[in-house]
Every structure is written in C-alpha cells, then in structure tokens.
Amino acid sequence: MYYDIVFAALLALVITWLIGAGSKVMRVVITRSTELGFNPVDIDLVLQRCYGMFPIPSVSFNGAIFHRGMSVRAVTSKERVIEGRFVGINKDNMLCILTPSSVIAQELDSILEMRVVGEG
C-alpha cells in the first residue's frame, strides 16, 4: 500500500515535469506574432488605432530604452528581422512596430535583439 502511494507521487512528479518541459518547448516554437497590411494612405488612422492598442510609449530591452517613433531593427527567436518605427507596447507584453506596408505586433519575449537604426 505504501509503495502504491510512493509510486503514485513519483509518477505525478514525472508527469508534472514533462508537462512543464513541454510547455516551455511549445512557447519557443509558437510565439505570438501578428502582421496586418495597410494602405499607406490610411497611415493616420492606423497610427491612431495602434496608439490605442499599444498605449505604453517606451520599453526597456537589454538595458536600452526605446521610445515611440524610433526606427528600430528587431530580430526574433525565429530569426525574422523586423525593421520599422516603434509604436508602443501593451500590458500583454506585445510590441508594435510599423513598417512601410504593415503593422507588426510581436511578443517581446520572442525578440532576441533590438537596436536603433536611425534617429527619429
């Protein structure tokens, strides 16, 4: 009887560890990222909506602070390079970057590198 309890406890521990390890792997494989195209004529409307959805105007990343309007280059964990204008961040840790033809919302945790590519 005691062996059954000890065995059940050890089995539960192993299953819990496997679920935890599996969720970490899935988080790396599946990152939240959304890209929406827009017509450049509608840039003012797009920016107005983005400012509402990403209201926090600055973010600290690897010791550097990025402010709304800065031109940035970000590299994601999937080696995707995003270059555009930093718009903001929200409470869900989603970063918004505006490129000439699209708006990209990327999970901050999946960004490996970010740097300023120009002033402004």
Domains of the chain, by residue range, sit at: 1-30, 32-118
Higher pLDDT, 119 or 99: 99
Q: What is the pLDDT of residues 11-55, one digit of tens each?
A: 777 777 767 765 555 454 445 677 878 888 888 888 888 899 999
Q: Residues 66, 117, 82, 111: is their CA dihedral positive or negative?
A: negative
SS3 of residue 64 by DSSP: strand
Give 66's strand partners: 59
Q: What is the pLDDT of residues 81-116, one digit of tens each?
A: 999 999 999 998 999 999 988 999 999 988 999 999
Q: What does the DSSP 8-state code read for residue 1?
A: -
Is the Cβ–Cβ distance between 87 and 54 less than 8 Å? yes
Amino acid at 59: V
* CATH of the domain spanning 32-118, picked from 1.20.58, 2.30.30, 3.40.190, 1.10.3470: 2.30.30
Q: What is the pLDDT of residues 67-78, one digit of tens each?
A: 999 999 999 888
Amino acid at 112: L
Q: Structure pTM? A: 0.70
CA distance 91 to 118: 27
- Measured CA distances, 102 to 14, 28, 38, 86 (Å): 45, 24, 6, 12
